[in-house]
Structure 1
Amino acid sequence: MRSFTAVQRFDHTVSYLCLSHRFSAATAKVARVISHSGDGPLYAGIGLAAWWLDGAFGLWLLCTGIVAFAIELPIYWVLKRSFRRARPSQLPAFITPSDLYSMPSGHTAAAFLMASLISTFYPPLATVAFIWAGLIGLSRVLLGVHFVSDILVGAVLGLLCTALAQNITDDLYWMAAST
């Protein structure tokens, strides 16, 4: 229990530092744009573009992404309902979140899921994809709707769901390719 209290203290301290300075409103404008890039439509666009531009290999990315999100979304909702962790309060929030709870960050989970997919299928884009995913997580803290630990749990969730989806679709892809 002490370690959880230490995590909460750390989370509140970081949130206070991120949200209680004179530049926080200006920072939030940039953070809002970055956060919005993780709302979801971009992911479908990336999958469809990969399919269109790269044929069967791109379709494999698209299918893996669909499976990964089909795994991630129910787990995300169960974790949100189980943790029931309140979002940061008594500090500025620069957007209105879609729900009451903060743990895990769904934007971060989805961004790291997508970054992991991109890095697996198109390794030269890995650095850009993971920087973008990290910026989405950071933007959620800078907007006052998540704590750092929410971001970390979201990132791990996205990475694990992608790994599981890849195991599923890799087997299917190679079975189809061998017939």
Structure 2
Amino acid sequence: MNILQNIHAFDVQTFYWCMARKHRAKLTRMGRAISFSADGPLYAVVALLAWTAGYDTLVLILAFGLLLERCVYFVLKRGFKRNRPADELDDFCSFIIPSDQFSFPSGHTSGAFFIAFCLSEWFPSLNVMFYFWAVNVGLSRIFLGVHFPTDTIIGALLGSACAALMIGVLV
């Protein structure tokens, strides 16, 4: 068995563990709202608020960084073409209709970690709140049944790496 098969087997096992949680229905309801907060429009609001508050460098990082993150995200998504849990697992239906066909990496998680990383650089006293939100975005994507755990882990790494790169280049 190769490494990808081992990762997939672990992913499926962890996914089923999440789906078997006692409070999964409540987590799914909360997950809809949390996931919605990472759909994208919030990021434009954050950039607009940063611009009106005079954080011009942060606005540039958000604009160019999200552009970079989206480009890398689409290359990975189309390159790996990993099926979503509902398409991969015979006995499972997701709780929402995903916006695209493939699951790897999680774009919602990537965007959330990008925003959390950037905002934590400017407002370090709020970093626990920003990362708490980002982690919950990733968890919501699993509990809504549209991503395997490694999709969200790689999404978190992708968003963080793009933010670190943009901050390193533009600051």
Q: Confirm or deny a common fold (TM above 0.5).
A: yes
Matching of residues 57-72 of structure 1 within 5 Å: 58-72=55-69
Matching of residues 1-179 of structure 1 within 5 Å: 2-21=2-21, 23-53=23-53, 55=54, 58-89=55-86, 90-170=91-171
Cα distance in 1 for partners of 2:128, 2:47 equals 18
Runs of 4+ with deviation above 3 angstroms: 20-23
Cα distance in 2 for partners of 1:51, 1:123 equals 18
- Please give the per-residue CA displacement for 1:84-103, whole angstroms capped at 9, x wherever unaligned: 00000232311000111000
The alignment covers a number of residue pairs equal to: 167
**So what's the TM-score if we normalise by structure 1?**
0.88
Identity of aligned residues (%): 40
Deviation for aligned residue 1:21: 4.8
For structure 2, list consecutive stretches of 5 or more residues without a partner in the other structure.
Answer: none
- In structure 2, give the amino acid aligned to 1:114: I
**So what's the TM-score if we normalise by structure 2?**
0.92
Cα distance in 2 for partners of 1:43, 1:3 equals 36
